[in-house]
Each structure stands twice: as C-alpha cells, then as structure tokens.
Structure 1
Amino acid sequence: MVPSVDPRFGVALRESRERRGLSLRSLGQLAHRSKSHLHELEIGLKAPTVDTARHLDQVLDAGGALARLVEVPVDHAAEATELRLRVTASDVSGDVLDRIEQGVDDLASAYPTLAPADLLPLVRRHLAYVVRLLDGRVTLAQQRRLLVAGGWLAVLRATVHIDLQQRAAARAHLKAALDLANHAEHAEIQGWCLETRAWDVLTQGDYRKALGLSLEAQQVAPKGSSAHIQATAQEARAWARMGDVRATRHALDRVERLTANLPVPERAEHHYRYDPAKAAAYTATTLAWAGDPGAEQVARAVLADLDPDGDGGARPRRSASARLDLGLALVAAGQLDEATALGAEAVSSGRVVPSNWWRAAELLAKVERAGVPEAAALRELCTEYGPRRQSTADGTAS
C-alpha cells in the first residue's frame, strides 16, 4: 500500500524553509532537488518518500519534524510477493500494452539522470499498475507482454533499491523479476537478474561470488545481448578487484570484441540497452581498480566525453563516477593533488548514489594514507554528502 502523507507536511516544509530564509530555488540547490519538485511537495501535489523527508529534515535542521509526518516505508517484501503471486491473465487492450511498454522504456531511460529516491515511486506506480492488470483474461501473447513488462520493472526497481542500499527490498524484487522472466521464458531478463546480483555483491566486497554470478549471467543471457555484454564487463571488474590483471585484460578484450560493431541504440541512456560508450567507462573503472598504468588515459578520455564543459554533462551520475575512476587512476600514478580535487568534485556534485559511496571512500582512504593535505577537506565533503546508514524495521539501510 502506498503510504499516506500527513497534509501538514507541505505546511511544515514551507514554514521550515521560510524560517531559514530560503527560497525554493535556494533550498533546491542545498537539497539537490528541483524547484518544481519542492513546490509540488509544499502544495501537496506529490508525496515525499521517507528518504526525501529525512534529507530535507537534515538540510533544514528541522529536528525530524518532517520525517515524522510521513508514515513508515512500504513493506517491499509484501509488494514483491503480491507481484509474484499474481502471475495470471489480464484483460487489456493492445493500446494499453503499448503504453505500458513505452513507460518501461521511459523509466529505464530516466535511471542514469533521476535521483534514485525520485525514480523509485515512479517505478512502483507503474509496477503496481501492471500487477492490477494481471487479473483478467487475455490471449497468451498479451499475457506474456505483461509478464515481460513486469519483469523489466521489477529488476529496475531492485536496481534502484540497491542504489539506496535497501537490500532486503532489492532481493525481494530480483526474485520477483526472475519468477516473471521464467514464466515469460525471457532469457535476457534472467541474465539481467544475475548481473544485477553480481553488481550488488561486488559493491559489498564479495568478489568471488560476483565473478560466479557474472559467469552464470553470460551463460543465461542471449549471446551478444546487452545483458551478456554487461555481465562480461562485470566479470572484468570482479577479476580486477581480486588483483588478477591477466584475467581482467582477457575479459576486457572480450567486451571490446562484443561491442566493436555494436550500433548506438536509439535511446543511449536506456539502462538495459548497451551503449558502446559504456564499454569505455567500464574499462576505465576496471583498469583503475586493477592498478593498470593504462587507466589514466582511458579515464581522462571518458570524463572528457561525458563532461566536456565541466558542468556534469548530460549524464551527471556517470560523470561523478568517471571522476572517481580518474582519481583512483591518478593515485596509482602518483598525481595525488589532482586525484583529491577530482574526488571533491564528484562528492560535492551530489550525484554519487549510496551504493557507489564505497568508491569515494576508497579514494579518500588512499589520499589520506598518502598524507595529502587536501584529504581533510575531502573527508569533510564525504561526511556532509555521504548517505546516512540508518537501519529500518525491515532490515534495509537508507
């Protein structure tokens, strides 16, 4: 059930903002939210997520008053269970199915640019709509389209939960996505489920398990598909974290061959359509982790392509990650001052999602060990912008 919001939330938000003497624009800059989004929260057109309310509490020093006006987060496991149990026929028209599939593509394309906390409610609403439609009678072909759409939405939702470090919710929806993919006999979604799990355990430091899941994903996903390519790139990252440079290079060579003649997709920002530019970004990350001397040149080229004007570019989350990659490469090359400055730019952009903070922490640890004077300022930024790790009732973290 979607949580209801106390109607006093908008009033309290406006009063807290005005008490601080902030305009909507000023608050938006501090909170890394759009002015229009904050306006809609104040007038009650949009319901805040719990994470958003907590973040605004912190920015406005409201003492938790805003978060208390938002109910306890949804029971993600229960929603996922409902989705899995309702894999039945639905009475829908072709036009409705077309709109659902278009919505899936729109949400997957919004993933690289929209903050996870803002994307999550959109994915939830779309997925809830698919669940409601899985109730009537349709042809088998129409039913399969619904199952496939639900599978894509469930794996996307799991990915966003991982970004927010809500791992119990992520596990539930990855299981739901796999169930839907199995019913629809959709090998690519099956591959993405395994690849997403590989990415998740990689960020938690279980590199051997990440390697096994990556290899399994390559076996399951259709050869040459986006899931197959991404799983191969994930394999390279696992080898890099384990320090096997030869195996890392071998996996990267396979990614290069798979993407050599790959056309740029119509929507290059689509999370589940492999953009050849991703190959360069993954190579930069992987070589930086492996400590390969070639990492700096590749990382510089990736950052220049993503952010030619230094303003974050069209894909600010990728740009922030590229700065961290280049920073790690520069540490290995002994260029510590620039590495620290790049880390500060990435962190202060507000675009490093919670699941990626370990990379910023790794860069910070390296420059601190090297005794870089500016490392203290980088630590302050990490403290200011870093995610709060507060346990919730269902065992997730936010």
Structure 2
Amino acid sequence: MAEQWHERLVRLQAAKGWSNRETAMHYIALSPFHEETQLDSVLAMFKRYRRGEITNPSPETQQAIAAMFDLPVADFFAQRPLANQNVPDRLSPTEFTDLVAALRMPKVGEAHLAQAEAEVERLCTAYSAQDARSLTVEVDDWLKELASLVHEGRVSLAGHERVIHLTGWLSLLRACLMWDQGDEQATHQARVAAEGFAADLGDNVMAAWTWEIRAWMALTQGDMPNVIAAAEAGIRCAPNASVAAQLHAQKAKAYSRMKDSHKTEVALDRVREVLDSNDLPSNVRNHFSVDPTKASFYAMDAYRTLHGRERLADAMADTVIATSTRPDGTVISPMRLAEAQLTKAVLAARDGSPVTALELAGAALNHERRSQPSLLLVASEVAHELEYRSPADGAEFRNHLRALGAPDSPSS
C-alpha cells in the first residue's frame, strides 16, 4: 500500500528533528488561518493528523503542511500517483507500417498527424524506463519520417507547424538519450537542433528545456557555475512553466555542491512555488511534463550533498524509492530508483556501514535503464565516502567505477 500523507508527515518531522511544538509553530507561520495564540489547538490538531484521524485536510492546510517541507502540494498529497499511469502501448508492427505508409502519402490528413503526435507522446513517456539504445532507434526513425513530411511538402501549413513541434520535442528527447549514454557530441547536436526548432516556433518552453539539458550536462561534468548560468537562462525563457521547477532544481543541486545552504533552500522553495502554480500534467510520466513528485527527488540530491542534512536526504530517498515502484515491486522509474539507492549508500558509508553501502550501490548499478553520467556522478560520491572511512572497500569500488567510465573524484 502506498504511504499515506500522515505517515509521511511523521517521517519528515522526525527527519527535520522537530518536536511537536516546533512543528506546530512552523505550521502556524505558513497557515493563513492560524496564529501563535492558537498553539494549543494546533498541537491538538497535529496529534490527530499524526494518528491519521483526519484524512482530507482543507486545501489551505495541505498547502501549509507541504510548504513546511519545501514540497509542492501535489507531491505531499499525491493526486495522481506515478505508479497509476501506464506507458501507452507501442504500435504493433502492422499498425506502425500502416501509419508510416499513410504519412508517406502525397497529402497527410489530420487523423494520421494525430497518430504521430500520440507516438511522440509515447516515446517521451517511455523515456524513464525503456532501454536507451532501443528508444534512440525509435526516436531516430520518427525523426526521419517527420523530416520527410516537411521536406516533401506533404502537409498543410498548419500541419507543417505541428510536425516541426514534434520534431523539436523528439530532438530534445534524443539529446537526453544521448547524454544518458555519455555521447557529448551527439547530445550537443540534438540540443542545438531543438534550439533551432524552438526559435522557429517561438516556443519558450521548448527553449527552456534546451537550457535544462545544458545545466544537466554541466552538473555531471562538475561545472557548477555553468549549471547556475544555464539554469538562469532557461528560467528567463519560461519563468512560470513547469520546466522552471527543474531549472531551479539544477540550481539547488549546484548550490548544495558549493556548500551554500541558504541558496540551496531558496532554490528548492522556488521549485515548490513553480509546481504549486502549475496544473498537474495530464501525463505525469512524460519526461517533459514535470511530475510534482520529482520535488522529493530534487531535494534528496541537494540534501545528500549538504552535510548535516543526512536525515532529510534519507527521508526523501525513501519517498523516491516508494514512488519509483508499484505495490507489486515492478520498477517504473529505474533511474530515480538508482539515485535513491546511491543516496542511501552515501549515507550508509558516512555512518560507517561499508557493507550496506556496497550492497545498495551494487543494486543501483545493476539497473539496465540508466543515465550513465548521473549514475556515475552519485556513485563517485559513494566511493569518496568509502575511501575516507574504509580505504580498502573504497579503492575496490573506485576501480569498479573507473571501469564504467567514472571520474576519479566527485564534483561535490
């Protein structure tokens, strides 16, 4: 059974190290309907919350509780869990052949363009779990088909714009896939192509995503000033769109590695504000529709690299693990799961538990779907902690990471 919000409240309160009185005071500071003179009644209310006696607090109460932990409401009080949304079925070989044949007709109609749009949506949704190489093949096939539609003039003017729009998103998806596989040149080429399509369309959200990819690349390369510069450029493109939450998250990750706690907290708070101001996406698994539960994922990474925030990092990792799997144990988001396992490995190593750290790191490195640069970045943090506290284990693990292509030292 999925974790209930009141259970998460108890867990995060413990991670913050707050007493019941401190929790009530934090709540009063954020609630529009309470003040310090009502402390006793708020304390009584929170006791009922903690016991799960109140299942559906008012929207204002939900907002204040989520804000206490710098999380958006739709993360803390999940409206549409990630595990409840399936990836659309892939077309059968016959259906795919028929659609391609229709797209190669002298004139392509609305119905077949709509089918192509559905396929691009499926590809963006499959990103989180499908093998990167096989998904890249599918994306490349579609990019070729869409390019031929434009070059051969087989769509109307309105259809032409729709095809360019689809091509832009597929170029972004290809950039992500190529960076997952560690191919910097191919990533750059796909990202630049997406920049061009965004400029042609005047699509500021698409443009912001090109900057998000730049920020992500800089993060995994250890270039924190460029993470911040790229993120700020992307935010200027689309300050209120959900992509801005991911850009603020990249800033939080960079600031945490620069050991700036205040700026990290400010950036995480902006993540919450942006996601709270946006409607829940119709497809929470589309890679370019920012799922509010990613706020816990972002916070986990930032808190892991800020010393003294280990309990919060651990609590956020538990949330990420829970939301990355279905109740039956099926993994739906292996890349998020891997980083959560590595986070716990880092914390286990700091606690002087090398065996546990190595077990968790081994599980994380065993997922077939992976983002190689991101995975190795966090795995290098595990190696760093092991080298400090258990040199023999650290040296062995570091050698294993070198074989996988990891840098010799973490960017943190």
Task: Determine the C-alpha separation between the residues in 2 that align with 1:113 and 1:365.
Answer: 28
Task: Determine the C-alpha separation between the residues in 2 that align with 1:374 and 1:239.
Answer: 29
Task: Determine the C-alpha separation between the residues in 2 that align with 1:221 and 1:261.
Answer: 13
Task: Determine the C-alpha separation between the residues in 2 that align with 1:360 and 1:166.
Answer: 19
| Preserved CA contact (<8 Å) 1:147 1:181 | no
Could you tell me which residue of structure 1 aligns to residue 124 of structure 2?
108
Could you tell me which residue of structure 1 aligns to residue 324 of structure 2?
306
354, 373, 387: which is aligned to 1:355? 373
1:123: how far off? Answer: 0.5
TM-superposition CA deviations, 1:280-302 (whole Å, max 9, x none): 11110111122323222222232
385, 389, 394: which is aligned to 1:366? 385
Could you tell me which residue of structure 1 aligns to residue 362 of structure 2?
344
Instruction: Give unmatched runs, 5+ long, in structure 2.
Output: 1-105, 408-412
Task: Determine the C-alpha separation between the residues in 2 that align with 1:137 and 1:383.
Answer: 50
Task: Determine the C-alpha separation between the residues in 1 that align with 2:300 and 2:387.
Answer: 23
CA separation of 1:352/1:139 partners in 2, compared to 1, >3 Å: closer, same or farther?
A: closer
Could you tell me which residue of structure 2 aligns to residue 317 of structure 1?
335
| Preserved CA contact (<8 Å) 1:348 1:381 | no
TM-superposition CA deviations, 1:330-389 (whole Å, max 9, x none): 4445554433321121113344432222221221222122116654664576467x3599
Paired letter, 1:191 = A
| Preserved CA contact (<8 Å) 2:246 2:290 | yes
Could you tell me which residue of structure 1 aligns to residue 189 of structure 2?
172
CA separation of 1:138/1:117 partners in 2, compared to 1, >3 Å: closer, same or farther?
A: closer
Could you tell me which residue of structure 1 aligns to residue 264 of structure 2?
248
Task: Determine the C-alpha separation between the residues in 1 that align with 2:244 and 2:178.
Answer: 22
Partner of 2:365, secondary structure, is helix
CA separation of 1:308/1:103 partners in 2, compared to 1, >3 Å: closer, same or farther?
A: closer
Task: Determine the C-alpha separation between the residues in 1 that align with 2:156 and 2:326.
Answer: 50
CA separation of 1:296/1:333 partners in 2, compared to 1, >3 Å: closer, same or farther?
A: farther
| Preserved CA contact (<8 Å) 2:205 2:238 | yes
229, 232, 254: which is aligned to 1:215? 232
Task: Determine the C-alpha separation between the residues in 1 that align with 2:108 and 2:195.
Answer: 23
Counting only pairs closer than 5 Å after superposition, residues 57-76 of structure 1 correspond to structure 2 as none
CA separation of 1:304/1:335 partners in 2, compared to 1, >3 Å: closer, same or farther?
A: farther
| Preserved CA contact (<8 Å) 2:320 2:336 | no
Task: Determine the C-alpha separation between the residues in 2 that align with 1:113 and 1:269.
Answer: 10
TM-superposition CA deviations, 1:247-290 (whole Å, max 9, x none): 00110011122223655433222100111111111110111122
Paired letter, 2:344 = L
Task: Determine the C-alpha separation between the residues in 1 that align with 2:328 and 2:302.
Answer: 23
Task: Determine the C-alpha separation between the residues in 2 that align with 1:383 and 1:177.
Answer: 33
CA separation of 1:162/1:168 partners in 2, compared to 1, >3 Å: closer, same or farther?
A: same
Task: Determine the C-alpha separation between the residues in 2 that align with 1:308 and 1:336.
Answer: 29
Task: Determine the C-alpha separation between the residues in 2 that align with 1:91 and 1:186.
Answer: 26
Instruction: Give unmatched runs, 5+ long, in structure 1.
Output: 1-89, 390-398
Task: Determine the C-alpha separation between the residues in 1 that align with 2:206 and 2:194.
Answer: 8
**Residue 278 of structure 1 pairs with residue 294 of structure 2:** yes
Higher relative contact order (CA 8 A, sep 6+): 2
Could you tell me which residue of structure 2 aligns to residue 86 of structure 1?
none
CA separation of 1:305/1:154 partners in 2, compared to 1, >3 Å: closer, same or farther?
A: closer
| Preserved CA contact (<8 Å) 1:157 1:173 | yes
Partner of 2:346, secondary structure, is helix
| Preserved CA contact (<8 Å) 1:296 1:330 | no
CA separation of 1:315/1:96 partners in 2, compared to 1, >3 Å: closer, same or farther?
A: same
CA separation of 1:312/1:343 partners in 2, compared to 1, >3 Å: closer, same or farther?
A: farther
| Preserved CA contact (<8 Å) 1:312 1:320 | no
Larger Rg: 2
115, 128, 143: which is aligned to 2:144? 128
| Preserved CA contact (<8 Å) 2:352 2:389 | no
| Preserved CA contact (<8 Å) 2:208 2:234 | yes
Task: Determine the C-alpha separation between the residues in 2 that align with 1:255 and 1:300.
Answer: 20
Question: How many equivalent residue pairs?
Answer: 299
TM-superposition CA deviations, 1:287-325 (whole Å, max 9, x none): 112232322222223223324779562222221111112
CA separation of 1:163/1:103 partners in 2, compared to 1, >3 Å: closer, same or farther?
A: same
Paired letter, 1:315 = S
**Residue 118 of structure 1 pairs with residue 137 of structure 2:** no
Paired letter, 2:271 = V
Counting only pairs closer than 5 Å after superposition, residues 1-398 of structure 1 correspond to structure 2 as 92-135=108-151, 136=153, 138-221=155-238, 223=240, 225-260=241-276, 262-291=278-307, 292-293=309-310, 294-307=312-325, 311=329, 313-356=331-374, 357-371=376-390, 374-375=393-394, 378-379=397-398, 382=401, 386=404
Between 319-328 and 100-109, report the one with greater CA deviation. 319-328
CA separation of 1:388/1:382 partners in 2, compared to 1, >3 Å: closer, same or farther?
A: closer
1:162: how far off? Answer: 0.7
CA separation of 1:376/1:311 partners in 2, compared to 1, >3 Å: closer, same or farther?
A: farther
| Preserved CA contact (<8 Å) 1:312 1:319 | no
| Preserved CA contact (<8 Å) 2:130 2:369 | no
Paired letter, 2:183 = Q
Between 361-370 and 238-247, report the one with greater CA deviation. 361-370
| Preserved CA contact (<8 Å) 2:325 2:331 | yes
Paired letter, 2:331 = G
CA separation of 1:282/1:323 partners in 2, compared to 1, >3 Å: closer, same or farther?
A: same
